[in-house]
Structure 1
Amino acid sequence: MAKIVYFAWVRERVGKGEEELDIPVEVKTAGDLVAWLATLGEGYEEALRFPKAIRVAVNQEHIEHHESIAGAREIGIFPPMTGG
């Protein structure tokens, strides 16, 4: 079981700020997770329509899509960040 936390417009489209999910064993990387989350319903699909733009943090550390989510207690899902 992992706590998934959604931020900014991802949270708005998913319709919740966080949830506890049993992540399937075949979901091994951040990219796998984003793809799997997109299958959970219309709001998820809309929020994660451009998976490569989504940023993922495991236990409050940003990781790349090819990196493992093994041992994650908390996973943050972020939209692309802009700033100056």
Structure 2
Amino acid sequence: MIDVLYFAWVRERIGLPKEQVETSATTVAELVDELVAREERYAAAFADRDALRVAVDQDLTDFSASLAGVREVAFFPPMTGG
């Protein structure tokens, strides 16, 4: 079971701040594919993966990152300065 967290417009599109996901995915990209296959709201949130950042156990990474031993995955838009 992995905790999946959503921030900013990703959370708005999915309608949840976080959820626990039972997954057979081995990478972040596979996890996203599983989520997108669930419902349209996930497809909308992940339509442009280049517009998203991902953190695995609070470390910034990319969609090819392994989920082996991971407890938390977070998705959020790029941070802007200001």
Q: TM-score, normalised by structure 2?
A: 0.87
Give the Å deviation of 1:35: 2.2
Can you list the C-alpha shifts for 1:12-43, whole angstroms capped at 9, x where unaligned?
0000100011012xx21122222222122111
Contact 1:60–1:76 (CA under 8 A) maintained in structure 2: yes
Gaps of 5+ in 2: none
| C-alpha RMSD of matched pairs (Å) | 1.4
SS in 2 for 1:38: helix
Q: TM-score, normalised by structure 1?
A: 0.85
Contact 1:2–1:73 (CA under 8 A) maintained in structure 2: yes
The 5 A counterparts of 1:45-84 are: 45-84=43-82
Give the Å deviation of 1:54: 1.8
Q: 1:54 and 1:77 mapped to 2: Cα distance?
A: 7
Contact 1:29–1:69 (CA under 8 A) maintained in structure 2: yes
Q: How many residues matched?
A: 82
Amino acid of the residue matched to residue 4 of structure 1?
V
Percent identity, aligned pairs only?
Answer: 44
Q: 2:26 aligns with which of 20, 25, 28?
A: 28
The 5 A counterparts of 1:34-49 are: 34-49=32-47
SS in 2 for 1:68: coil
